[in-house]
Amino acid sequence: MAAKIVLYTQRDAAGLKSVLMENDANLTSSYLSAVVDKGQWIAYRYPDYNPSSWGSDNVQLLTQGDSGAIDFKFPPASIRKVESFGSEGVTVYQHNDYCGREEPLSDSAAHINVGGASSIIISGGRWKLFTQPEYAGPFRTLGPDNYPTPDAMGFPNDSLRSIEKAQ
């Protein structure tokens, strides 16, 4: 079954609802709560997944298994699913706090296509993160977790350039 989230116009999963199974870069209604039916989703304060304004106050992770209704910290202007959720994969993000462009990966990548990635969600497996393309330069091996900042990954900002599955 595909990822699915139900958005509500009032707190505690009340009011009008809208079912999403795909990303929405520009929500046209104001939602105050959600129920995650399947997958992991990221709600953003601004349209287009906060392309130039990030920070932990501007994003909210929503995960399958969160009990019942989840009230948003803010009415989201955009929302997207974490493509790698439930797999041995990763999703890398252009900016801190899972903002900007994204690149889901299920295998090694000699070049990260979002530029130097600044945040990552590792959904499964262990991965070697490198500061240079072609699996070169200093690296760190990380396992499943959410890494919202370069510090959390153990890298300087914008320096994640390639990623390889660890054996």
Q: Name the domain boundary from 25, 57, 81.
A: 81
What tens digit of pLDDT does each residue of 27-79 get?
A: 999 999 999 999 999 999 999 999 887 788 999 999 987 778 999 999 999 99
- What average pLDDT does the structure give for the chain? 93
SS3 57: helix
By C-alpha distance, which of 77, 70, 74, 82 is closest to 33?
70
Q: Name the domain boundary from 34, 60, 81.
A: 81
125/63 same-domain check: no
pLDDT at 1: 61
Distance, in Å, from the CA atom of 124 to the CA atom of 122, rounded to the nearest integer, reads 6
* H or E, element range at 48: none
Q: Give me the domain span that covers residue 111.
A: 90-165
Q: Name the domain boundary from 24, 54, 81.
A: 81
Q: How many domains does the chain have?
A: 2
- Does residue 60 contact residue 42 with C-beta atoms inside 8 Å? yes
10/75 same-domain check: yes
What CATH number is attached to the domain comprising 137?
2.60.20.10
